[in-house]
With several copies, the nearest count.
Chain A
Amino acid sequence: MKMITAYIQPEKLDDVKRELFLVDVRKMSVTNAHGCGQQGGYTENYRGVMQEVRLLKKIRLDVAVNDHFVQATVDAIIRGARTGNIGDGKIFVMPIEQCYRIRTGEQGGDAIG
């Protein structure tokens, strides 16, 4: 089992969700986040004042999947989130050792999906 954590542009969430649904990934968690990636030293004009913008709004998406779903999930996120511009985001894949469904107490690969 893997945890796939992606940081994407907020306005792409709907597209990403649609792509995930198409590959039958329907479970996920979403959080507000702020990030800097390639735009690290970026500046912006705010009311005539040049402003060093450091942390831009991002959406963090956490999707836990069984191992054989990882590639499809990553590809779906990329399809939904890519515009070709800086700020499109990043995906991290991390290992999950165990998973429980609280309602039933199920464990492992059964619980995740």
Chain B
Amino acid sequence: MTAIDSMYLLLTTAAVFSLQAGFLLSITGVTRAHHAIALFLKTFATAGIGVIAFFAIGYGLAFGPSAHGVFGTPHFSLRLAFPESQLPRILFLLSVFLLVPVIPLGAMAGRIRFPIHLAYAAFAFLLIVPLSFKWVWGSAIDPLAAGWLQKWGFLDRSGAAVVHVVAGAMALAASLVAGPRLGKYGADRKPRAMPGHHLPLSGIGMFLLIGGWPFFLGGFEPSFSAAHSAQLALVAILAACGGFFGALIPAWFATRKFDAPFALNGILAGLVVVCACPESLGGWRPLLVGMGAGALVFGGILFIEMVARIDDPAGAISVHGIVGAFGALLPGILHPGAGLLRGGGFHQILIQAAGTAVLALFAFASMWAFLRLLKALFGIRARPVEELRGLDLSEHGMEAYSGFQIFDQH
């Protein structure tokens, strides 16, 4: 690696770290004020646990030598003795690693107790995240340590499946086990709207996500190439545009309002959908794919909320799970030489579908089982009166906006 390669990696790492803030702000803004502190502290705690877990075990599990490609050996990571030249890349991988369990906060907001969240994060960092990284990105550091999905030919360059589907599946599991927020569904089983308390905060979060995404895509480059980086930025920008309009327009037809949360979800959907194969989306394709993702997230959110009756306050299941899965199929359609539309037949798309399903099932099932266990042993939700007064007061002993008069009828 040249100096410029590693400087680029440092930049991408910083940018991916900032995505944590981006997700957190996006989620916080569209949920209620009385658990904003809880969301912040959970995010910081997730990162704290993740850093320790990564260096203690996760890094080895994910990127250590492994013949079978199911998990690596954590032998060397305990002493934090990495080859100096690889440290920048390792930090980049850490930044992606930390991101995964932050995303499901969008579905878990408002009701899960803090200590349970710590256990959730630890479980994700010790099992789900490192193994899914291993399976698809196992050779990121050591070329001989490839994972089994990778060997199969599963393609997922920047994590449509490894990051987003996995996060979406964990979000689904958590929301199912926790159940909806009090008051979300009436006696008639119809959803009640619970408007977000600070949309500008979500807007700021979205700026961070848009700004960081090109670097997120770029960090997976083997070395710095100006042309590639610029091309990846272009893909991200076009996809975000597509997602914006792809969600805004159907939302307008449905409600005759220009719906900001849907539009923001659409932007994010556009960014998510290009993650699997940004380099095979030339010309205007990212715009079209992004529009599809935007429309998908619009439908997905309504489906999850009204038909499936799952409470997903910030839409994490739809944006990351559903759209991520769509994105993970794209290499099977568009990858040059292998994709369906690029003369590759059905082979690749089947691999993509199977690999995505494997990752989704693994993440969902293990997280579901783990949370059921916690629920049986300790309960995972705050008591009703605590939830109604807000986790901030009950678990954190203060309010996010002390002194501000807030009247919230839910």
Contacts and interface: CB of A to CB of B under 8 A. Distances in A.
Q: Is A–B contact present in the complex under a CB 8 A cutoff?
A: yes
Interface stretch (B158-166, B208-216, B238-246, B251-259): B251-259
Contacts, number: 48
A51 B188 CA distance: 12
Contacts of A32: 405-407
A30 B409 CA distance: 10
Contacts of B405: 32
In the complex, which of the residues A10, A46, A50, A54 has the most CB atoms of chain B within 10 Å of its own CB atom?
Answer: A46
A87 to B, nearest CB: 12
Contacts of B255: 45-48
Interface in A14-65: 14, 30, 32, 34, 45-52, 54-55
A76 interface: no
B258 to A, nearest CB: 11
B409 A46 contact: no
A32 B398 CA distance: 18
Contact of A52 (B192, B254, B259, B389): B192
Contacts of A8: none
A47 B193 contact: yes
A19 B316 CA distance: 36
A11 interface: yes
B283 interface: no
B409 A49 contact: no
A52 B193 CA distance: 9
Contact of B191 (A11, A34, A49, A55): A49
Interface string B381-394: 00001001100000
A77 interface: no
Contacts of A55: 409
Interface residues of B, number: 27
Interface in B186-227: 186, 190-193, 195
A50 B190 contact: yes
Interface string B160-195: 000000000000000000000001001000111101
Given A13-B409, A32-B405, A34-B407, A47 B261 contact: yes
Contacts of A34: 407, 409
B312 interface: no
B302 A48 contact: yes
Contacts of A14: 183, 409-410
A55 B408 CA distance: 10
Nearest to A45: B255
Contacts of B407: 30, 32, 34
B14 interface: no
Interface of B: 183, 186, 190-193, 195, 251, 254-255, 257, 259, 261-262, 302, 305-306, 385, 388-389, 397-398, 405-407, 409-410
16 contacts: A14-B410, A32-B405, A32-B406, A34-B409, A45-B255, A46-B193, A46-B255, A47-B262, A48-B251, A48-B254, A48-B255, A49-B191, A49-B192, A50-B190, A51-B193, A55-B409
Given A45-B397, A48-B306, 5 more contacts: A46-B195, A47-B398, A48-B251, A48-B255, A49-B190
